Amino acid sequence: MPTLKIQTNATRDDSAWDALLDTASKQVAELLGKPEGYVMVIAEPTAKMRFAGTDEPLAYLELKSLGLPEARTPELSAALTALVGEHLGVPAARVYIEFSAPARHLFGRAKPC
């Protein structure tokens, strides 16, 4: 179900990454009205990234979810940008977010035994 991937060149210690992952998981579940038990959050610290010609802190996010509400992307953008700003110190103007809503039959997972 909902998956948030965060790629960034911002550097933080492990405890900061853990706090970001915990907060992001809860926030995505709340924003999308989905159980947190279905939410996946991936943080990919990437040393080599450049935006607008500089390597100042930046982030690229992907939010995928079945039934992603397209009309709410401005609200979701604001919330996710604030999250990245708070936890990683990335300015809002240096965050891009890709939203996608895959067809149900193209998003799956193995069922527990």
Q: For residues 100 and 70, what is the distance between their CA atoms, to the nearest angstrom?
A: 9
User: pLDDT tens string for the chain (113 positions)?
Assistant: 899 999 999 999 999 999 999 999 999 999 999 999 999 999 998 879 999 999 999 999 999 999 999 999 999 999 999 999 999 999 999 999 999 998 888 877 777 66
- Asked whether residue 111 is domain-assigned, the answer is no
Q: Which residues have CB under 8 Å from 84's CB, separation 6+? A: 6, 8, 59, 61, 90, 95
- CB 63 within 8 Å of CB 74: no
Q: Which domain holds residue 76?
A: 3-106
- 112 in a domain, yes or no? no
How high is the pLDDT of residue 95? 97
- Per-residue pLDDT at 113: 60
How many domains is the chain built from? 1
**Predicted TM-score of the model (pTM):** 0.92
